[in-house]
Chain A
Amino acid sequence: MNSSTLMDRPIIGVQTPSENNRMLLEMSHVEKSFVGDVVALRDMNLTVNQGDFISLLGPSGCGKSTALRLIAGLTRPTSGSISWTGGQNEGDLGVVFQEPTLMPWARVKDNVWLPFRLRGKRYKDYKDEVMHALELVGLDQFQNAYPRELSGGMKMRVSIARAMVTKPRLILMDEPFAALDEITRQKMNTDLLTLRDAIGCTVIFVTHSVFESVFLSDRIVVMAARPGRVVREVGVHVDGLRTDEFKTSMEFSHHARDASDALQEAISAGS
Chain B
Amino acid sequence: MNQHAVQENTASSPGLIDAEEAAIARRRKLYQIGRWTLPSLVLVLAIGSWQAYVTLAQVPHYILPSPLLIAQTLISDWDVLWPAMQITGRLTFLALLLAVIGGLAIAVAFTQSKWVEMSFFPYAVILQVTPVVAIAPLLQIYMDSAFSAALLCAWIVAFFPILSNTTTGLKSADHNLQDLFSIYGATGWQRLRYLAAPSALPYFLSGLKIAGGLALIGAVVAEFVIGRAGTGLGLASTLLEASYRFNFGRLYAALVLISVMGILIFALMSLISHFSLCRWHESALKRE
Contacts and interface: CB of A to CB of B under 8 A. Distances in A.
B280 A95 contact: no
Nearest to B187: A118
A105 B280 contact: yes
Nearest to A110: B194
Nearest to B282: A148
A123 to B, nearest CB: 13
Contacts of B281: 104-105
B275 interface: no
A184 B180 CA distance: 25
B195 interface: yes
A43 interface: no
A103 B177 contact: yes
Contacts of B183: 72-74, 93, 95
B190 A118 contact: yes
Contact of A119 (B179, B184, B198): B184
B229 interface: no
Interface string A59-83: 0000000000100111000000000
A95 B180 contact: yes
B15 interface: no
A142 interface: no
B279 A114 contact: no
B185 A105 contact: no
Interface string A117-148: 11100000000000000000000000000111
A118 B174 contact: no
Given A103-B195, A103-B198, A118 B179 contact: no
Given A93-B183, A118-B185, A101 B177 contact: yes
B185 A101 contact: no
B141 interface: no
A72 B178 CA distance: 13
A115 B280 contact: no
B37 interface: no
Contact of A148 (B195, B198, B280): B280
Interface string B228-254: 000000000000000000000000000
B177 A115 contact: no
Interface in B51-80: none
A104 B182 contact: no
Interface string B182-212: 1111100010001100100100000000000
A114 B186 CA distance: 10
B285 interface: yes
Contacts of B179: 69, 72, 74, 95, 97
A74 B176 CA distance: 11
A105 B176 contact: no
Contacts of A106: 198
Contacts of B280: 104-105, 146-148
A93 to B, nearest CB: 6
A105 B198 contact: yes
Contacts of B198: 103, 105-106
Interface in A25-51: none
A101 B174 contact: yes
B181 interface: yes
Contacts of B194: 103, 114, 117-118
A37 B237 CA distance: 66
Nearest to A94: B183
A105 B201 CA distance: 10
Nearest to B181: A118
A90 interface: yes
B166 to A, nearest CB: 16
9 contacts: A99-B176, A101-B174, A101-B176, A101-B177, A103-B177, A103-B194, A103-B195, A105-B281, A118-B186
Given A95-B183, A119-B184, 12 more contacts: A74-B183, A90-B185, A95-B180, A97-B180, A103-B194, A103-B198, A104-B281, A114-B194, A118-B184, A119-B185, A147-B280, A148-B280
Interface of B: 174, 176-177, 179-186, 190, 194-195, 198, 201, 279-282, 285
Q: 9 tightest A-B contacts by CB?
A: A101-B176, A118-B184, A105-B198, A97-B176, A118-B186, A105-B280, A104-B280, A146-B280, A115-B184
